[in-house]
Chains A and B, each alone.
Chain A
Amino acid sequence: MARVIVDVMPKPEILDPQGKAVHGALPRLGFTAVSDVRQGKRFELEVAEADEATLAEIHQMAETLLSNPVIEDYAVRVEAAE
Chain B
Amino acid sequence: MKVGVVTFPGSLDDTDAQRAVRLAGGEAVALWHGDHDLQGVDAVILPGGFSYGDYLRCGAIARFAPVMTEVVAAAQGGMPVLGICNGFQILCESHLLPGALIRNDHRTFICRDQTLRVENASTAWTSDLSAGQEIVVPLKNGEGGFVADEDTLDRLEGEGQVVFRYVDVNPNGSLRDIAGITNERGNVVGLMPHPEHAVEDLTGSGTDGLALFTSGLAALASR
Please state if B93 and A68 are interface contacts (CB–CB under 8 Å). Answer: yes
Please state if B173 and A15 are interface contacts (CB–CB under 8 Å). Answer: yes
A33 within 8 A of B: no
Nearest to A15 among chain B residues (CB) is B105
Nearest to A69 among chain B residues (CB) is B100
Please state if B57 and A18 are interface contacts (CB–CB under 8 Å). Answer: no
B145 within 8 A of A: yes
- Cα distance A29–B105 in the bound complex, in angstroms: 23
Please state if A70 and B107 are interface contacts (CB–CB under 8 Å). Answer: no
Please state if B100 and A71 are interface contacts (CB–CB under 8 Å). Answer: yes
Chain A interface size, as a band, is 10 to 19
Please state if B56 and A17 are interface contacts (CB–CB under 8 Å). Answer: no
- Taking CB atoms, residues of chain A closer than 8 Å to B30 are none
**B interface size (C-beta, 8 A):** 20
- Cα distance A66–B56 in the bound complex, in angstroms: 7
A80 within 8 A of B: no
- Cα distance A66–B57 in the bound complex, in angstroms: 9
B218 within 8 A of A: no
Please state if B107 and A17 are interface contacts (CB–CB under 8 Å). Answer: yes
- Taking CB atoms, residues of chain B closer than 8 Å to A70 are 92, 98-100, 147-149
B72 within 8 A of A: no
Q: Nearest Cβ distance between residue A61 and chain B, in whole angstroms?
A: 11
Please state if B148 and A68 are interface contacts (CB–CB under 8 Å). Answer: no
- Taking CB atoms, residues of chain A closer than 8 Å to B173 are 15, 17
Which one, B60, B99, B107, B147, contacts A20 given CB within 8 A?
B107
Please state if B57 and A68 are interface contacts (CB–CB under 8 Å). Answer: yes
Chain A, range 1-56, C-beta contacts under 8 Å to B = 10, 13-15, 17-18, 20-21
Kindly list the 3 A-B residue pairs having the minimum CB-CB distance in the complex, ordered from nearest.
A70-B100, A17-B103, A17-B107
B residues with CB within 8 A of A: 56-57, 60, 64, 92-93, 98-100, 102-107, 145, 147-149, 173
A residues with CB within 8 A of B: 10, 13-15, 17-18, 20-21, 65-66, 68, 70-71
